[in-house]
Structure 1
Amino acid sequence: MKFFILLLFFILLLESVSSLRVRRVSRIFNVKKYGAQANGQIDDSKAFMEAWKAACRSSGTVNLLIPRGIYLVGPIQFKGPCRNVNSIIVQIQGTLKATTDLSKYKRADWVEFGWVDGLVLTGGIFDGRGAISWPFNECPKQKNCKVLPTNIMFVNTTNTIVEGITSVNSKFFHIGLLGCTNFKGSSIAIRAPANSPNTDGIHLERNRGVSITRSTIATGDDCVSIGQGNSDVTLTRIKCGPGHGISVGSLGKYKGEGDVTGLTVKDCSVTGTTNGVRIKTWENSPSASVAANMTFENIIMSDVVKPILIDQEYCPYAKCDSNSPSRVKISDIKFKNIRGTTKDPEAVTLRCSKGIPCKDITLQDISLKHVGGVRGTVSALSSTCLNVRPTFSGTLNPPPCR
């Protein structure tokens, strides 16, 4: 009899522990319960911060819920570490609307997630309301300029999953990744007008292990820009355009920049952009760095001005110093199965550093057509190679340069 009583007690204890675990997993922190109005007029930043703090102080797996509605917020900082939380799920069903008062932005971002392990961000619209601020952006004209806020910034996060979010009309970059490890993004939508300045879709610096897939980016600058210090980055099934294409760089602008290695760009389409895939580095680099082990494969170009470009004389300003060549060493770069149409008869431009020429550059199965001038007119294409001796194979149009 005692055995059965003990067994029953043990079963009840297990059920109690299991019930507690379920409650922990399903625990939801709703921003409306912390005072968010969701009317698009009253600033809901305080409610967001209170809900985040409560979730971050919790344990197990927690859910920060932002229900349907329009929330005027910002700038806000979802900051960790959340020491007892295994995973924190931020589920956004509504729209976040940024303040247009630039005096409120003490940091260079609007919504920031930082120092969090196991973050999952799903859904929602981030409206940066950038059109009011774009006239104040002096960065396209001045090298030393004050940057406007990035829409969404991830800083020093680990094991992050981002899925199904939308960023529109950012003041500056849409999404920034800085110092992150193991970041996975999918089904991301980014939109801004083609003439919006410096609205890079996704910008990366000093990250390791980044994967972005099945995303659509239409903006006024690079769809994706891979800056200094990145390794093991994979971009697949990206639809880019309008914009400036998918770019590595610019690199070599500042002292002490990290190397960029291990990049794969595959199964993407680029439409109506100024560039297709490119690597850009500054002249007069203050210190040496490396850009190596990169593959651009199976990419469709549609009405792209410069489909394939290596530019080691990059300068977006009216005047730049050109006293010394770029010190960024570019090597082991593969362009494979790139096809479509170009607006410029010079479809391939490999302009490498005269101080450190590019090495091991491969072009395989490049099939491009020039369509310009009178509608439907097709003309011959050409390639330019400077300070590089590339290797060619397979179908080649434009013809190889030597």
Structure 2
Amino acid sequence: MLFKAWSSLVVAVASLSVASALRHHHYPQRPPYTRGHGKTCTLTPKGHGADDAPNILAAAHKCNNGGKVVLPAGKNFTIGSPLDLTFLKNVDLEFAGRITFTNDTDFWQNNSYYLTYQNASTFWLIGGENTNIYGGGVIDGNGQPWYDLYAKNPLVLRPILFVIYGARGGSAKDLSLINSPQWFNFIANSSDFVYDGLHIAGKSVSSNVAKNTDGWDIYRSDGITITNSVIYNGDDCVSFKPNSTNIYVSNLYCNGSHGISVGSLGQYPAEYDIVENVYSYNISMNYASDGARVKVWPGNAAAMSTDLQGGGGAGYVKNITFDTFYLNSVDYAIELTQCYGQNNASLCVQAPSKMKLTDINFNNFYGTTSGVRKAVVATIICSVESMCSNIEASNINVTSPAKYGTSQYICTRVDTSDLHIPCTSS
């Protein structure tokens, strides 16, 4: 099966990303870096909450093309205006201090960078060629005012904390990201980028929940690696959005999330979404809604019966492997649905998904479910069998709470020949 091929590939190129392995290239260079720096620009914060964005921008221009920009340890920097760093080339950003974004929600709603996809925006953009960000510092999104505002107005534009945009090579290593207003990481229109050793945490201190705090969202990007990180959040730990290809995710500890997720996909009728060649390995998933998840919308936007809006988009998901997951009190160990966002499953049969799912592998799952779904451990539901093929599950050793009886696996409109689990129909 394709899983065996992927496993052999990962063993043979343990230090390579999937994309790089496929193209016989090496990882982007990771710290500590051996290249010399033509210039080093070390910044001093203005202090008292004054905006340091103009000085950071000036330093980035001065030390571009082979230099290094340093925000020293023990220093507190404030960003109070939009900051575009997508022009960088062969630059190191040593973020050793603390960066905090101002909490002026009115200002940021009118002045942040609008990213189009799912109404996303951000305080700043980092990109360019071979840009490496590291240093052990803290990036603080000052999210609490946003959590409280969102509870009053769900249409508010909440900035994403850390956006890599238009990068060609590079890395982000050894950083702490806290209190993001929305998603923590978004990488778009990029290739050959490595995240290594990030610590992500965010939680509301009021009764208003911190929502949509995804650890990573990957969009229109190829050759992305995410590894050796700890994530405490309230939505997808990692999500592979439209046109994510050749992705390698490994050695993550996720707590409170919605799992490692493909999608959602097929949300917009005029678009063709692709997610292909994704390998997720050695994941610890704790107190989450899902362990591994594939979620695509049904085939007719007009059929929706929830507040979520979408459906009708086409495309495919191919060659996806979830391998070696350790689960502690998750609601579903495995969830695959071609009916995302739909309360009435019969409507999804009437309007089958236009997203074809092929070669999806769930292998080596261990642990327990929470009991939220009672005895159900996994649910695999296709809109029609022809739109799902080569769906495989093997060595699934996950148990539901004993009080609910024998663990159950729901398999609907899917060929069960490669599902080595005791399937029952919904």
Normalising by the smaller structure, the TM-score range is 0.7 to 0.9
> Corresponding residue for 1:90?
93
Q: Identify the match of residue 320 of structure 2 among 282, 294, 303.
A: 294
CA contact (8 A) 1:350 1:385 kept: yes
| Secondary structure of the structure 1 residue equivalent to 2:313 | coil
Distance in structure 1 (CA, Å) of the matches to 2:221 and 2:342: 25
Structure 1 residues 262, 75: CA separation in 2 closer, same or farther (over 3 Å shift)?
Answer: farther
Amino acid at match of 1:346: V
> Corresponding residue for 1:64?
69
C-alpha displacement at 1:40, in angstroms?
5.3
Distance in structure 1 (CA, Å) of the matches to 2:341 and 2:48: 41
Amino acid at match of 2:185: I
The higher relative CO (CA closer than 8 Å, separation ≥ 6) is in 2
Structure 1 residues 188, 40: CA separation in 2 closer, same or farther (over 3 Å shift)?
Answer: farther
Counterparts of 1:185-204 in structure 2, within 5 Å, are 185-193=195-203, 195-204=209-218
Structure 1 residues 121, 40: CA separation in 2 closer, same or farther (over 3 Å shift)?
Answer: farther
Q: Identify the match of residue 383 of structure 2 among 323, 346, 353.
A: 353
Counterparts of 1:2-41 in structure 2, within 5 Å, are 25=37, 27-32=39-44, 36-37=45-46, 39=47, 41=49
Distance in structure 2 (CA, Å) of the matches to 1:252 and 1:208: 19
TM-score w.r.t. length of structure 1: 0.83
Deviates more, 1:101-110 or 1:123-132: 101-110
Deviations 1:201-249 (A, max 9, x none): 1111010001111011110111111101110001000111111111111
> Corresponding residue for 1:308?
334
How many residues get paired? 360
Q: Identify the match of residue 175 of structure 2 among 157, 162, 165.
A: 165
C-alpha displacement at 1:24, in angstroms?
6.5
Structure 1 residues 226, 357: CA separation in 2 closer, same or farther (over 3 Å shift)?
Answer: same
Distance in structure 2 (CA, Å) of the matches to 1:290 and 1:393: 20
> Corresponding residue for 1:180?
190
Amino acid at match of 1:265: S
Structure 1 residues 356, 170: CA separation in 2 closer, same or farther (over 3 Å shift)?
Answer: farther
> Corresponding residue for 2:271?
256
Deviations 1:66-95 (A, max 9, x none): 01211111344343434xx4x200001111
Distance in structure 1 (CA, Å) of the matches to 2:294 and 2:41: 44
> Corresponding residue for 1:400?
423
C-alpha displacement at 1:161, in angstroms?
0.9
CA contact (8 A) 2:175 2:197 kept: yes
Matched, 1:54 2:31: no
Deviates more, 1:271-280 or 1:187-196: 187-196
Amino acid at match of 2:384: K
Deviations 1:318-351 (A, max 9, x none): 9998662221111100111111000231111001
Distance in structure 2 (CA, Å) of the matches to 1:319 and 1:100: 42
Deviations 1:90-123 (A, max 9, x none): 0011111111112332221023103x10100003
C-alpha displacement at 1:138, in angstroms?
6.6
Deviations 1:332-372 (A, max 9, x none): 00111111000231111001123853110001000011126
Structure 1 residues 183, 324: CA separation in 2 closer, same or farther (over 3 Å shift)?
Answer: same
Distance in structure 1 (CA, Å) of the matches to 2:230 and 2:262: 18
Counterparts of 1:197-216 in structure 2, within 5 Å, are 197-216=211-230
Higher CA-based Rg: 1
Let me know the Cα RMSD of the aligned residues.
2.6
Q: Identify the match of residue 292 of structure 2 among 266, 274, 277.
A: 277
Deviations 1:28-48 (A, max 9, x none): 11122xxx32x3522212211
> Where do 5+ consecutive residues of structure 2 fail to align?
1-33, 114-120, 301-310
> Corresponding residue for 1:238?
252
CA contact (8 A) 1:201 1:223 kept: yes
CA contact (8 A) 1:187 1:213 kept: yes
Structure 1 residues 45, 180: CA separation in 2 closer, same or farther (over 3 Å shift)?
Answer: same
Deviations 1:15-37 (A, max 9, x none): xxxxxxx99625211122xxx32
Distance in structure 2 (CA, Å) of the matches to 1:205 and 1:23: 30
C-alpha displacement at 1:146, in angstroms?
4.4
C-alpha displacement at 1:315, in angstroms?
1.1
Amino acid at match of 2:95: I
4+ aligned runs moved over 4 Å, structure 1: 316-323
> Where do 5+ consecutive residues of structure 1 fail to align?
1-21
Amino acid at match of 1:197: K
Distance in structure 2 (CA, Å) of the matches to 1:331 and 1:296: 14
Counterparts of 1:134-173 in structure 2, within 5 Å, are 134-137=147-150, 145-173=155-183
| Secondary structure of the structure 2 residue equivalent to 1:25 | coil
Distance in structure 2 (CA, Å) of the matches to 1:317 and 1:244: 18
Distance in structure 2 (CA, Å) of the matches to 1:24 and 1:238: 32
CA contact (8 A) 1:40 1:71 kept: no
Distance in structure 2 (CA, Å) of the matches to 1:76 and 1:326: 39
Matched, 1:111 2:124: yes
Amino acid at match of 1:269: S
Distance in structure 1 (CA, Å) of the matches to 2:106 and 2:225: 35
Structure 1 residues 110, 321: CA separation in 2 closer, same or farther (over 3 Å shift)?
Answer: farther
Amino acid at match of 1:112: L
> What is the identity percentage for the equivalent residue pairs of Structure 1 and Structure 2?
22
Distance in structure 1 (CA, Å) of the matches to 2:386 and 2:149: 38
CA contact (8 A) 1:74 1:111 kept: no
